[in-house]
Amino acid sequence: MSGFRKWLTLFFISLGGGTIYIVPYFKFTYYDQLLVATGLNNYQLGMLMVVMGILNMIFYIPGGIIADKFSARSLFTVSMIGTGLLTVWYGTLPGYHTLLLIHGLYAFTTVLTFWSAFLKGIRTCGTKEEQGRMYGISDMIRAVVGTVMSFIILAVLGKAASDTVGIANALYLMGIIYIGIGVATFFIMPKGNEAAETDEEPQAKFSFKISLKVLKMPAVWFIAINVFCWYIAYTTITYAVPYLTAGFDMSASMASTVGIVRQYVITIFMAPLAGLLADKMKSPAKLLIYCGVIGTILTALFLVVPTQATLVLLMVVITLSVGAIISAARGVYFATMAETRIPLFVTGVATGIISIISYSPDLFVQAMYGKWLDNYGVAGYKYIFLFMTVFMVVSAISAYLIRKTAIKAQSKASNKVANIA
């Protein structure tokens, strides 16, 4: 693959990766507008995420198997076009049960056929010596694209006559963009036989025997618990957007802007910075311990700051600070797999198992939060952030256990080398 085509392919793959999850997780940034446009209550809006979350859990490992059987180009194209058609359907703003179906189908197009194809597609862009560069640049492109698209959507909402019209227009626009990316990538992305050889060794095929061995590794469980905690934090901090409007009288448009900055803009800087700090410490787990402690302190501030409009600026600062800590942790927590010496040949299976555990909050958190808000109103946010604070404490403890496991694994490896010598 020529140099120009390699970078063009990487750009379009990252363009898809940076946009495909915007609409399925629309509520993370446009919560208030979506409530008005769909006519759903908080619980029902949460249930859309639960349905998608249940299917996501089921599809993580099968998605990897499918990616081994079909070309990344075909899967990527089908995923983008399929997501686009679903989004156009979403734009008609159908009833609750149809929205449940749409979000269930999003799990097919964004996880089962997309996620592994996306990772595989990036891998085809470079040789094994270029993989770090490929993934690093891809992450940056995804964050930049997510930022730009989110502000475009915010502009569409701002110019619309109502939130209902604005959400519908934004969904139609995103649907067209998804389909366009899918079509363009089909012609740009290389076929399987054009891909660069990047694997240093054969990857393990899925089997129950390998899965059982991986399940017995303490490091896998500690990492899964840690990522589980940070995913709860990532999900929970999105509720700061409606909290700013309900508790501090901020406009929905301004609160969404804060949400975009927290979710995308901060990530552009914090993820690579976290990587540099982890390298300097020579331990991602050490950084995660600090993130857990700082995250606990900052999240606890949500519980003590009174809901007064005069304190809105303070709450914005707290929200963005918590977002920065979450972005830092998310940038390095999978790096602990190498630190704890999880064998390279079981990385795929280990990642699948960790993902199933780590992202399981999608099964219950959104609906639980929605129920609290429906039952307790603004006071429900205190329960939400208390829940998050508890898991910030658990994140620090699990990071400490990861570090202890890493030290033990590194010591064992050193002794093995010494015995051979």
Backbone dihedral angles phi then psi of residue 30, each to the nearest 5 degrees: -120, 45
Q: Is the pTM of this model over 0.85?
A: no
pLDDT, residue 200, reads 46
pLDDT, residue 207, reads 63
CATH topology of domain 1-193: Growth Hormone; Chain: A; (1.20.1250)
**Sequence letter at residue 21:** Y
pLDDT, residue 205, reads 58
Residue 183 makes CB contacts below 8 A (sequence gap 6+) with 77, 81
Q: How far apart are CA 45 and CA 38, in angstroms?
A: 9
* CA 146 to each of CA 107, 264, 265, 336, 354: distance values in angstroms, whole numbers, following the listed order: 20, 6, 9, 26, 25
Mean residue pLDDT of the chain comes to 86
Q: What is the pLDDT of residues 162-184, one digit of tens each?
A: 999 999 999 999 999 999 999 99
Residue 224 makes CB contacts below 8 A (sequence gap 6+) with 353, 354, 357, 358
pLDDT, residue 245, reads 94
Counting residues of the chain whose pLDDT is more than 70, the rounded percentage is 88
* Residue 86: closest CA among 106, 107, 110: 106
Q: How far apart are CA 165 and CA 9, in angstroms?
A: 35
- Three-state SS letters, 261-313: HHHHHHHHHHHHHHHHHHHHHCCHHHHHHHHHHHHHHHHHHHHHCCCCHHHHH
Helices 163-188 and 72-91, interaxial angle, to 10°?
160
Confidence of residue 131 (pLDDT cuts 50, 70, 90): very low
* Start and end residues for every CATH 1.20.1250.20 domain found in the chain: 1-193, 204-416
Q: What is the pLDDT of residues 380-390, one digit of tens each?
A: 999 999 999 99
Number of other CB atoms surrounding residue 162 within 10 Å: 12
Handedness of CA 169, 171, 174, 180 (dihedral sign): negative
204-416: CATH, from 1.20.1250.20, 3.50.50.60, 3.40.50.2300, 3.30.980.10: 1.20.1250.20
**Cα 310 to chain centroid, rounded:** 33
pLDDT, residue 204, reads 53
pLDDT, residue 372, reads 95
- CB-based burial label for 111 (10 Å; 0-12, 13-18, 19+): buried
**Sequence letter at residue 99:** L
Two tokens, residue 246 = 């309900």
Backbone dihedral angles phi then psi of residue 263, each to the nearest 5 degrees: -80, -35
Handedness of CA 116, 118, 119, 120 (dihedral sign): positive
